Amino acid sequence: MSKKSSIRGGPISKNMLYTIIFLGACILFIFLADRLFDAFSLRVFNLCAIYIVLALSLNLLNGFTGLFSLGHAGFMAVGAYVSALLTMPAPLKEMNYFLVPIVSWLHHVTIPFLPALIIAGLVSACVGFLIGAPVLRLRDDYLAIATLGFGEIIRVIITNAQSITNGAQGLKGLPRFSTTFAVWTAAGLVVLFMVLLMRSSYGRAMKAVRDDELAAEAMGINVFRVKVTSFTVSSFLAGIGGALLGHMITTIDPKMFTFTLTYNILLIVVLGGVGSISGSVISAIIVTVMMEALRFLDEPINLIFFKTPAMPGLRMVVFSILLMVMIIYRQKGLMGNKEFSWEMFQNVFVKKSKKGGSHARTP
Amino acid sequence: MPEHPELMLSTSHLTMKFGGLTAVSDFNLEIQKNEIVGLIGPNGAGKTTAFNMITGMLSPTEGKVLFKERDITGLKPHSITALGIARTFQNIRLFKEMSVLENVLVACNLSINTGILAATLHLPGYRARESEARRFSIELLEQVGLAHLANENGTSLPYGQQRRLEIARALATKPKILLLDEPAAGMNPQESFELMDFIRKIRDEFDLTIFLIEHHMQVVMGVCERMYVLDYGITIAQGDPASIQKNPKVIEAYLGVD
């Protein structure tokens, strides 16, 4: 550490250069992907962006504020439904609501995607605030159980509010607004937002609450308010993520937003490193791509001599095993609670080339 | 002692019962401005419980806590800190994943106090306060002699330095009264003497009033101007160090009696 800080001027501008080049390459890659990828690959690619948003929103709670919440799918559902209802044109709504007609005040509402997306986030944040205010008085496992319960309650309400949400039939034919450009812009903005938030006094307060609630309280931090703020912001991001997901899949129904969805996001967060923004980003991409790449496991496999029957869900077994291995051997996840830095990148390679050189010094 | 004594902190009939156990009973405290007052007593005498009641971590079963004649009983700990009562902990409670500087910066949040959007977007108003907080934190770290370790992880410091960091962190909340819970615990005599000087120094420099719990008799006798002695939650003696040392009740509580 001391060695590095003594020659400050050099490496920092070099790192800035690396970062600018890297970001430029990312943007170029996104443009190329949009042009060159086939429909399926592009879909997976865009799904990565949505999972980045969702993973960061859950990491804000689990990783940075130390609140173990399992109700995330509920907030995503709120976001997805709000955005869908606000953007669907009236004739499409009539087609969807053939059992019970839609309530009149929603019938003719059709607004552009961007305001709808923001409203979706805000409504989700409101729901998060209303749930968070009572639930955040609980701690640890109790909080996890209570949020899990509220997540399910949201889903059940959506299933039963037939005249608003079309109940279990779900909504079909949502406008396909989640373009490559839209989802990656959203992902980029959310990453930027998280980085800035974590560098601000609010981020510090959240980390303080995570590390030691009592000490944080004694340092004049209103712990309860920090928790509610974090929960509300996280719900906002989850709402945005849910809305993007809805407009990508173009069909939403309550069954989509079960605990399994929360579990998938939790998997990304834990694998990437609880409390690491870059970890969540990397892990979101890896897990999303692997989820699709391993899809062949669910199908019948022809091993020449014998054929295995189709086993739907086998790839999830792979992920569960991966999660267990991770928890046993590398509890802190891919990145731990560190952020990616070019020094870290270099260190990994220097260590590899020197082979066991005692270079691993943590500051 | 100032010429016009000003009552900073007082408690009246402060009592804490946990079920059938009375941890502290009828505790009456009076601390004037700029005093250094000690609270001593054998293990389990209820010293930390008294601290917890003053700082709002526990709400007393009976009695009142007054800060500058204002009733602060039952306020939340963070509001009490905001009013100007800061504390350290017996078992050091630093923020584990944070650097030394960040540990102190967290305690500056009271003075930063902007909206979440202003903070996230790093608007000019927030920036000014943030850089002021950084300057103040580094200044504090210089005062406690930890400035050169600002980027180290707080919990990787040696024990004595962690204690100093906790004090720096408490000072960052800009307190008027500082409550120190066993600041010399685990220190050798040399470190304890340094600590005594340090406590006097911060009292003068930050215009503080200090109330401290201590086991080390030397520290208490050396630094405190007055002290209270608790035993089984009951105040058995109070006064200046010399009279406390001679008090038969105190000797009995500490050494036992045949």
Q: What is the pLDDT of residues B70-113, one digit of tens each?
A: 898 888 999 999 999 999 998 889 998 888 999 999 988 888 87
From chain A, the residues in CB contact with B78 under 8 A are: 217-223
Residue B175's closest CA among B135, B213, B210?
Answer: B210
Does the beta-carbon distance from A208 to B106 stay under 8 Å? yes
Confidence at residue A240, expressed as pLDDT on a 0 to 100 scale? 95
Whether residue B77 sits in one domain with residue B27: yes
Per-residue confidence at A11, pLDDT binned at 50, 70, 90? low
Q: What is the DSSP string of chain B?
A: --SS--EEEEEEEEEEEETTEEEEEEEEEEEETT-EEEEE-STTSSHHHHHHHHTTSS--SEEEEEETTEE-TT--HHHHHHHTEEE--SS----TTSBHHHHHHHHTHHHH---HHHHHTT-HHHHHHHHHHHHHHHHHHHHTT-GGGTTSBGGGS-HHHHHHHHHHHHHTT--SEEEEESTTTT--HHHHHHHHHHHHHHHHHHT-EEEEE-S-HHHHHHH-SEEEEEETTEEEEEE-HHHHHH-HHHHHHHH---
Confidence at residue A347, expressed as pLDDT on a 0 to 100 scale? 74
Nearest C-alpha of chain A: how many angstroms from B122? 7
Query: Is the pLDDT score of B235 beyond 90?
Result: no
Domain count, chain A: 1
pTM comes to: 0.87
Query: Is the pLDDT score of A8 beyond 60?
Result: no
Average confidence (pLDDT) over A115-134: 94
- Residue A144 corresponds to which amino acid? A
Residue-wise pLDDT for B132-174, tens only, equals 889 999 999 988 888 888 888 888 888 888 888 999 999 999 8
Query: Is the pLDDT score of A153 beyond 90?
Result: yes
Whether residue B181 sits in one domain with residue B167: no
High-pLDDT (> 90) share of chain A, %: 36
From chain B, the residues in CB contact with A197 under 8 A are: 116, 119-120
For residue B68, what are the domain limits?
Answer: 1-84+175-258
Of residues B86 and A359, more confidently modeled: B86
Confidence at residue A357, expressed as pLDDT on a 0 to 100 scale? 40
Structural domain includes residue A332: no
* Joined tokens for residue A86: 């606000």
Confidence at residue B117, expressed as pLDDT on a 0 to 100 scale? 84
A·B CB contacts under 8 A: 106
Average confidence (pLDDT) over B37-52: 87
Query: Is the pLDDT score of A5 beyond 50?
Result: no
Of B82, B105, B153, the CB nearest to A220: B82
Per-residue confidence at A6, pLDDT binned at 50, 70, 90? very low
Domain count, chain B: 2
Whether residue B210 sits in one domain with residue B167: no
Nearest C-alpha of chain A: how many angstroms from B69? 21
Among B116, B144, B172, the domain boundary falls at B172
- Residue A261 corresponds to which amino acid? L
Does the beta-carbon distance from A218 to B81 stay under 8 Å? yes
Whether residue B135 sits in one domain with residue B9: no
Confidence at residue A101, expressed as pLDDT on a 0 to 100 scale? 80
Q: Can you give the three-state secondary structure of A57-94, one letter per residue?
A: HHHHHHHHHCCCCCCHHHHHHHHHHHHHHHHCCHHHHH
Does the beta-carbon distance from A211 to B110 stay under 8 Å? no
Of A199, A220, A229, the CB nearest to B78: A220
Query: Is the pLDDT score of A122 beyond 80?
Result: yes
Whether residue B187 sits in one domain with residue B80: yes
Chain A window 158-217: which residues touch B at a Cβ cutoff of 8 Å? Answer: 193, 196-197, 199-202, 204-205, 207-208, 210-212, 214-217
Residue A106's closest CA among A81, A124, A85?
Answer: A85
For residue A206, what are the domain limits?
Answer: 38-258
Confidence at residue B256, expressed as pLDDT on a 0 to 100 scale? 67
Residue B22's closest CA among B63, B77, B66, B82?
Answer: B63
Query: Is the pLDDT score of B257 beyond 90?
Result: no
Whether residue B223 sits in one domain with residue B199: yes
Distance CA A181, CA A193 (A): 18
Does the beta-carbon distance from B106 to A204 stay under 8 Å? yes
Query: Is the pLDDT score of A4 beyond 70?
Result: no
Distance CA A280, CA A274 (A): 8
Does the beta-carbon distance from A214 to B93 stay under 8 Å? yes
- Residue A220 sits at the chain B interface (C-beta within 8 Å): yes
Most confident of A4-13, A35-44, A352-361, B247-256: A35-44
How many Cα atoms within 13 Å fall on the side-chain side of residue B2? 16
Structural domain includes residue A329: no
Residue-wise pLDDT for A83-113, tens only, equals 999 998 888 888 888 877 888 888 888 889 9
Does the beta-carbon distance from A208 to B119 stay under 8 Å? no
Confidence at residue A248, expressed as pLDDT on a 0 to 100 scale? 92
Confidence at residue B4, expressed as pLDDT on a 0 to 100 scale? 63
Nearest C-alpha of chain B: how many angstroms from A338? 10
**Hey, which residues does B181 pair with through a beta bridge?**
B213
Helix (H, G, I), strand (E, B) or coil at A337: coil
Cα–Cα distances in angstroms (integers) from residue B204 to residues A90, A173, B31, B34, B176, in the given order = 74, 73, 16, 8, 12
Confidence at residue B1, expressed as pLDDT on a 0 to 100 scale? 47
Confidence at residue A335, expressed as pLDDT on a 0 to 100 scale? 78
Whether residue B125 sits in one domain with residue B7: no
Interface ipTM > 0.85? yes
Strands B226-231 and B36-40 come out as: parallel
Whether residue B101 sits in one domain with residue B63: no
Confidence at residue A362, expressed as pLDDT on a 0 to 100 scale? 38
Whether residue B3 sits in one domain with residue B71: yes
Name A75's Cβ contacts closer than 8 Å, sequence gap at least 6.
A124, A127, A128, A151, A154, A234, A235, A238, A239, A242
Average confidence (pLDDT) over B229-248: 86
Average confidence (pLDDT) over A330-343: 77
Whether residue B109 sits in one domain with residue B51: no
Query: Is the pLDDT score of B246 beyond 50?
Result: yes
Average pLDDT, chain A: 85
Most confident of A138-147, A337-346, A353-362: A138-147
Of residues A12 and A22, more confidently modeled: A22
Among B172, B191, B225, the domain boundary falls at B172
From chain A, the residues in CB contact with B122 under 8 A are: 196, 199-200
Average confidence (pLDDT) over A257-273: 89
Of residues A307 and B7, more confidently modeled: B7
Per-residue confidence at A193, pLDDT binned at 50, 70, 90? very high
High-pLDDT (> 90) share of chain B, %: 12
**Lowest-pLDDT choice from A2-16, B170-184, B225-239:** A2-16
Whether residue B183 sits in one domain with residue B80: yes
Whether residue B72 sits in one domain with residue B96: no
Does the beta-carbon distance from A5 to B151 stay under 8 Å? yes
Cα–Cα distances in angstroms (integers) from residue B205 to residues B41, B144, B152, B200, B208, in the given order = 29, 12, 26, 9, 8
Among B172, B206, B235, the domain boundary falls at B172
Per-residue confidence at A361, pLDDT binned at 50, 70, 90? very low
Does the beta-carbon distance from A196 to B151 stay under 8 Å? no
Structural domain includes residue A276: no
Residue A45's closest CA among A184, A194, A142?
Answer: A184
Residue-wise pLDDT for A278-298, tens only, equals 999 999 999 999 888 888 777
Residue A118's closest CA among A60, A172, A79?
Answer: A79
Does the beta-carbon distance from B86 to A218 stay under 8 Å? yes
Is residue A58 within 8 A of residue A266, CB to CB? The reply is yes
For an interface test with B, the pick among A3, A219, A232, A277 (most B C-beta atoms closer than 10 Å) comes out as: A219
Is residue A80 within 8 A of residue A159, CB to CB? The reply is no
Confidence at residue A354, expressed as pLDDT on a 0 to 100 scale? 53
Q: Other CB atoms closer than 10 Å to residue B103's CB: what's the count?
A: 30
Residue B169's closest CA among A208, A107, A317?
Answer: A208
Does the beta-carbon distance from B133 to A204 stay under 8 Å? no
Average pLDDT, chain B: 86
Residue-wise pLDDT for A220-245, tens only, equals 899 999 999 999 999 999 999 999 99
Query: Is the pLDDT score of A356 beyond 60?
Result: no
Residue A117's closest CA among A7, A13, A21, A244?
Answer: A244
Alpha-helical regions (H) of chain A: 2-6, 9-36, 39-59, 72-87, 90-96, 104-107, 113-135, 140-160, 162-165, 180-199, 201-211, 213-218, 223-249, 259-272, 277-293, 314-329, 342-354
